[in-house]
Amino acid sequence: MGPPHIKFKLVRFLLLLLLVLLVHSCERELRDKAPDIGWYTSYPSALKEAEIAGKPVFLYFSAVWCSWCREYEKELVKIAPYISENFVPLNLDSDRDRELFLKFGGRGTPLTVVLDQREKVLLKFHGSVKSEDLKEILYLVRRGEASPTDKNETYKIQLPGKETYQLLLQYFLTDLKGRYDSFYGGFSSPSKRGSVFKWSTPLTYDFLLERALLTDEVLFSLRKDIEFLYDPVDGGFFNFYDRTRVYEFYFETSKSLMVNALMIPALLEAYRVTRDRDFLGKALGTYSYLITFLLHRESGCFFNAQVSDPEYYNLDPQDRKRRKPPPVDTAIIVEDNAKAILALLELYRKLESKQFLDTAFRCTDYLLMNLLTQEGLYRYYDTGVKKNKRVNLNLGRDIAWLGLALIELSEFNPTYRVSLRKILELKPSYEDWVSVSIKAYILSRLSGDEARKVLTDLEVNLSYHNPDDMVFLLKALENMIERDEI
């Protein structure tokens, strides 16, 4: 039989081998969702092939947590020969290839963009389309008869002063009233276009509650979010539900770090306003979900998301306990971990438990050590099969959110101001008006003059999909007014 220590080493080796195989299997399950129709996975390579072949690029953005993407992919495979014959098919990840996703106006997944060889957008749409309809749309694109993209209404800030603030605040509140759903709650419906999807808008909730604006609407919406989106078994919030399916109440059964991290401060603010312990309980339940399911214990940071599995979440609670939970996407993303750090700091402020502060420090130190390099700030660190892979330098959203986390952390440890300055000095590879607004908010807490320079001539998209996008611009202007520097 052999000595005991040799048997122990053999068992340990076999367990480690099994673990590696399981992780590899999980990664394949996460990565290989899109049907194989000859996808390119590199944007430059696809453009080069498009130029050589004289074909447009069929660019499909998906996500490992997106159940709608799985539905769409069933349709794509039905017309795979048509796509491969007439287009250069390119599949990118909306989380990992975030710069391109935002560049093409991505609001959610699935996102389809058709480009010519010079990167001109010929067609863009969000959501799933039936194969026969998609084939007809693509036929019109080839004939040059399709509408290329959405039209946006913009406002250019000439002078970031009180007048600008009052104008934007009034627009924001009027828009929210137009979006508000008095039956299901929430401000996520497209303004003036009726109610479709229901997802949380936690930054908006928090902003309004702090200022005692639309308080009844916000509290009603949060309670509806808890009713429809909170998972009473594992804790945490699902991304959204779709109430257009009258006989099939559908909800997106993924749980992302982004949504859950942002919901915690909103729930805590609702608890402060109402003293309703259900809000506090759901905030703590969401924290418990993050710690239990998304925590990367080696770093103290959090994984990107738990992937969608409608079959699992529609089981009875007792049956779910006998099933293995859905796997997680193993990327540690800067933007969303910064949101988690902010949630931890808010938990510490409200509950004064040092465990929250310690976890925030630990995750921040990991991000600074592993993703802030001499080249700049990388977007994510993959802890799975592609271990140590760092991708996407200096994306505006990552810089802005990590900067926001650092300025909040510096209240507890001033040494983080050094890292904050390094972050603010980075030149973004791509930034949108939202990331500029967050940066302006950070600067407004340091110097009103610097914030004014950043906001002057900024074009604000008034056709924003999510009202949360407007919050930090308003907060930056408020800070500057309070400092009497504008």
Q: Torsion angle, CA of 411/416/417/420, rounded to 10 degrees?
A: -120
- Which DSSP string do the residues of 246-289 spell out, in sequence order? TTS-EE---EEHHHHHHHHHHHHHHHHHH--HHHHHHHHHHHHH
Range 43-142 classified under CATH 3.40.1390.40? no
pTM (two decimals): 0.85
Q: Torsion angle, CA of 335/339/342/343, rounded to 10 degrees?
A: -160
CB atoms within 10 A of CB 474: 17
Residues 6+ apart with CB under 8 A from 318: none
pLDDT averaged per 10 residues in sequence order, the chain, 486 residues: 46 40 37 69 96 96 88 93 96 93 90 94 89 92 74 88 96 94 83 55 98 98 94 92 49 85 98 98 98 96 90 88 91 97 98 97 97 95 72 94 98 97 96 97 92 96 92 97 72
**The CATH number of the domain covering residues in 154-482:** 1.50.10.10
- Which DSSP string do the residues of 40-55 spell out, in sequence order? B--HHHHHHHHHHHT-
Query: What does the pLDDT read at residue 205?
Result: 98
Query: What does the pLDDT read at residue 424?
Result: 96
- If you ran DSSP here, which 8-state letter would residue 201 be given? -
CA–CA gap between residue 378 and residue 334 (Å, rounded): 8
40-74 burial, b if ≥16 CB within 10 A, otherwise e? beebeebbebbeeeebbbbbbbbbbbbbbbbebbe
- Rounded to 10 deg, the angle between the 202-210 and 215-229 helix axes is 150
Query: What does the pLDDT read at residue 151?
Result: 63
- If you ran DSSP here, which 8-state letter would residue 291 be given? I
CA–CA gap between residue 382 and residue 218 (Å, rounded): 37
Domain boundaries, the chain: 43-142, 154-482
Residues 6+ apart with CB under 8 A from 464: 470
Query: What does the pLDDT read at residue 148?
Result: 62
